[in-house]
Amino acid sequence: MASFSAAAATTTTAATRLLPSATISAANRLSFPSSVTLKSLRSSPLLSHLFLRQKTTPRRVSSGRLSYATLTSPIRSVSDPEQLKSAREDIKELLKTSFCHPILVRTGWHDAGTYNKDIEEWPKRGGANGSLRFEIELKHAANAGLVNALKLLQPIKEKYSGITYADLFQLASATAVEEAGGPKIPMKYGRVDVSGPEQCPEEGRLPDAGPPSPASHLREVFYRMGLNDKEIVALSGAHTLGRSRPERSGWGKPETKYTKDGPGAPGGQSWTVQWLKFDNSYFKDIKERRDEDLLVLPTDAVLFEDPSFKEYAEKYAEDQDAFLKDYAEAHAKLSNLGAKFEPPEGFSLDDSSQEVQPEKFVAAKYSTGKKELSESMKQKIRAEYEGFGGSPDKPLQSNYFLNIMIVIAVLAYVTSLVMN
Q: Torsion angle, CA of 217/223/229/230, rounded to 10 degrees? A: -130
Give 3's strand partners: 37
DSSP 332: H
| CA-closest candidate to residue 107, choices 184, 189, 171, 41 | 171
Triad 338, 95, 296: Cα angle to 5° = 70
- For residues 94 and 90, give the distance between their C-alpha atoms in angstroms, rounded to a whole number: 6
Neighbours of 161 (CB within 10 A): 13
The number of residues making up the chain comes to: 420
Closest CA to 159 of 82, 44, 52, 73: 73
**331 given a catalytic annotation:** no
Catalytic residue from among 101, 110, 140, 217: 110
Backbone angles phi, psi at 294, to 5 degrees: -105, 140
User: What is the rounded CA–CA span in Å between residue 284 and residue 299?
Assistant: 15
Amino acid 13 reads T
Please, where are the H alpha helices in 52-209?
A: 81-98, 101-112, 135-138, 147-159, 165-179
Name the helix (H) or strand (E) containing 298: helix 298-301
Residues annotated catalytic, as ranges? 110
